[in-house]
Chain A
Amino acid sequence: MTALLVAVALSGFAGAVGGLLARARARVVVVAFFTIAASLAALTVALDVLRTGKVATLTTTQVLPFTGVQLRLDALGALFVAVTAVVATAVSIYSVGYSRHHPMSRSSACAFATFVTSMLLVPAAWSVTTFLFAWELMAVASLALVLTDYRRSADVRSAAIWYAVLTQIGATTIAFGLVVLAVKTGGQGFTTMALHSASMAPWLRGAVFLLALTGFASKAGVVPLHVWLPKAHAEAPSAVSALMSAAMVNLGIYGILRVGDTLLGGGPSWWWITVIMLGVGSAIYGSIHAATSTDLKRLLAYSTADNIGLVMIAIGTAGLLSSTGHQSFAALALFAGMFHLVNHAVFKGTLFLAAGSVQYATGTRDLDQLGGLFTRMPIASTIFAFGTVAITALPPLCGFVSEWLLLQSLLHGLSSSVSVSVVLMPLCVAALALTGGLTAAAFVKAFGVGFLGIARSPAAEGASEPPRLMNVGAGVLASLCVVLGVAPIAMVGLLNSVVRTIQTSGGSIVSSHGEALAISDAKGVFDPTLIALALVTSLLCVAGVRRVLSRRHAIRRAPAWGCGRELQTARMTYTATSFAEPLQRVFDDVLQPSQDLDVSHRGESRYFVESVRFGTRGGDAFERLLYQPVFSTVRRLANKARLLQNGSVHRYLAYGLGALVVILVFAR
Chain B
Amino acid sequence: MTNHSVAAALLALTSGTVLLCAALALWRRAARGIVSALRVQGYALAATAAVLGVQLHEPLLLVTSGLLVAVKGVAIPMLFGRLVRLDPASSETDPVVNVPASLVAAVVLTLVAFVATRPIVESVRGVPITLVPFGFATVLIGFFVLVARRKAVSQMVGLLLVDNGIGLVALLLTTGVPLLIELGGTLDVLLVVVVLRVLVTRMHAQLGVLDLDSLQELRD
Contact = CB atoms under 8 A, between A and B. Distances in A.
A664 B165 CA distance: 15
Interface of B: 96, 109, 112-113, 115-116, 118-119, 136, 140, 143-144, 146-148, 150, 212-213, 215-218
Nearest to A649: B212
Contact of B143 (A646, A648, A656): A656
A654 B146 CA distance: 8
B213 A654 contact: no
Contacts of A645: 218
A645 B116 CA distance: 29
Given A650-B146, A650-B148, 19 more contacts: A646-B218, A647-B215, A647-B216, A647-B217, A647-B218, A648-B213, A649-B216, A650-B150, A653-B143, A653-B147, A654-B147, A657-B144, A657-B147, A660-B143, A661-B140, A664-B112, A665-B112, A665-B115, A668-B116
Contacts of A647: 215-218
B155 to A, nearest CB: 8
A646 B215 CA distance: 11
A657 B212 contact: no
A660 B140 contact: yes
11 contacts: A647-B217, A648-B213, A653-B146, A654-B147, A657-B140, A657-B144, A657-B146, A661-B112, A664-B116, A665-B112, A668-B116
A635 to B, nearest CB: 15
Interface residues of A, number: 15
Nearest to B217: A647
Interface in A472-531: none
Interface in A619-668: 645-650, 653-654, 656-657, 660-661, 664-665, 668
Nearest to B119: A668
A256 to B, nearest CB: 40
Contacts of B218: 645-647
B147 A665 contact: no
A646 B148 CA distance: 16
A358 B114 CA distance: 82
Given A648-B213, A668-B116, A661 B147 contact: no
Which of B112, B119, B150 neighbours the largest number of chain A CB atoms within 10 Å of its CB? B112
Contacts of B147: 650, 653-654, 657
Nearest to B149: A650
A654 B97 CA distance: 12
B59 to A, nearest CB: 35
Contacts of B115: 665
Contacts of A648: 213, 216
CB-CB nearest 4 A-B residue pairs: A664-B116, A647-B218, A654-B147, A647-B216
A648 B217 CA distance: 8
Nearest to B116: A664
A291 B142 CA distance: 71
Contact of B116 (A653, A656, A657, A665): A665
A646 B112 CA distance: 28
A661 B115 CA distance: 11
Nearest to A652: B147
A650 B143 contact: no
A657 B143 contact: yes
A665 B112 CA distance: 7
A664 B116 CA distance: 6
A656 B144 CA distance: 10
Contacts of A661: 109, 112, 140
A648 B212 CA distance: 8
Nearest to A651: B147
Contacts of B136: 664
A645 B140 CA distance: 23
Contacts of B119: 668
B121 to A, nearest CB: 12
Nearest to B150: A650
A183 to B, nearest CB: 39
Contacts of B150: 650
B162 to A, nearest CB: 10
Contacts of B140: 657, 660-661
Nearest to B96: A650
B158 to A, nearest CB: 9
Residue picked from B115, B118, B147, B148, most chain A C-beta under 10 Å: B147
Contacts of A660: 140, 143
Nearest to B155: A649
A649 to B, nearest CB: 5
A656 B147 CA distance: 9
Nearest to B95: A650
Nearest to A663: B116
A657 B218 CA distance: 22
Nearest to B146: A653
Contacts of A665: 112, 115-116
A650 B147 CA distance: 5
A649 B146 CA distance: 9
Contacts of A664: 112-113, 116, 136
Contacts of B112: 661, 664-665
Contacts of A668: 116, 118-119
B134 to A, nearest CB: 15
Nearest to A642: B218
A510 to B, nearest CB: 60
Contacts of A646: 216, 218
Contacts of B113: 664
A650 to B, nearest CB: 5
Contacts of B213: 648
Interface in A67-125: none
Nearest to A656: B143
B88 to A, nearest CB: 24
A656 B136 CA distance: 15
Contacts of A656: 143
B207 to A, nearest CB: 14
Nearest to B148: A650
A656 B218 CA distance: 19
A654 B144 CA distance: 8
Which of B116, B140, B212, B218 has its CB near the most chain A CB atoms (within 10 A)?
B116
A650 B215 CA distance: 11
A646 B213 CA distance: 12
A665 B114 CA distance: 10
A240 to B, nearest CB: 31
